[in-house]
């Protein structure tokens, strides 16, 4: 007598093969995702963002009284409520203008206040209002 193969057994084999293929594809994709995240320092960057507030990160990147002087400019901006009424002069020529920290985009306009970052000397036409390290807030006479 001849045995008849049951359809249930062959259907189980097909579903097992489909699942194995699906699992293999997803495992490879998951591995590629993990490698991509590791290469781009996703885990370290996420930790830094969660650990430090934005002010600390900006001061670290733009400097306090060095580089672009973000820390000093932000302190003066908060302390004296200066927005769009001051100009920034950075004597370190390796960096672009710091005026954008105060939302100032017109460098040719005459302002009442001047913020100096790392100057070699001070101009006598201005009164020193605030000084910290080698950064100055000056008022035009």
31-47 pLDDT, tens digit per residue, is 999 999 999 999 999 99
pLDDT band at 120 (very low <50, low <70, confident <90, very high): confident
Paired residues of 87 in beta bridges? 114
Query: Residue 127 pLDDT more than 60?
Result: yes
Residue 14 confidence (pLDDT)? 66
What confidence tier does 6 reach under pLDDT thresholds 50, 70, 90?
low
Averaged pLDDT of the chain: 82
Degrees (nearest 5) of the Cα angle 103, 106, 112?
80
Domain ranges of the chain: 9-51, 63-140
Prediction pTM value = 0.66
Residue 59 Cα distances to 97, 106, 113, 126, angstroms: 16, 24, 22, 27
113 pLDDT band, cuts 50/70/90, is confident
Least confident of 71-75, 81-85, 133-137: 81-85
* Pairwise CA distance, residues 141 & 109, whole Å: 16
Residues 6+ apart with CB under 8 A from 136: 115, 116, 119, 122, 128, 130
Has residue 128 got a pLDDT over 80?
Answer: yes
Q: What confidence score (pLDDT) does residue 93 get?
A: 73
The lowest-confidence range among 36-45, 60-69, 101-110, 117-126 is: 101-110
pLDDT of residue 3: 55
Q: For 99, what's the count of Cα atoms within 13 Å in the CB-facing half-sphere?
A: 15
pLDDT at 44: 93
């Amino acid at each position: 007598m001849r045995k008849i193969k049951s359809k249930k057994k062959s259907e189980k084999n097909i579903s097992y093969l489909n699942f194995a293929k699906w699992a293999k594809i997803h495992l490879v994709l998951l591995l590629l995702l993990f490698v991509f995240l590791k290469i781009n320092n996703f885990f370290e960057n996420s930790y830094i963002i969660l650990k430090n507030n934005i002010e600390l990160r900006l001061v670290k990147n733009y400097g306090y009284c060095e580089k672009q002087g973000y820390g000093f400019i932000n302190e003066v901006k908060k302390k004296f409520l200066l927005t769009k009424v001051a100009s920034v002069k950075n004597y370190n020529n390796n960096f672009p203008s710091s005026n954008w920290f105060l939302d100032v985009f017109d460098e040719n306009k005459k302002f009442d206040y001047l913020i100096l970052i790392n100057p070699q000397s001070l101009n006598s036409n201005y009164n020193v209002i605030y000084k910290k390290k080698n950064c100055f807030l000056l008022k035009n006479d």
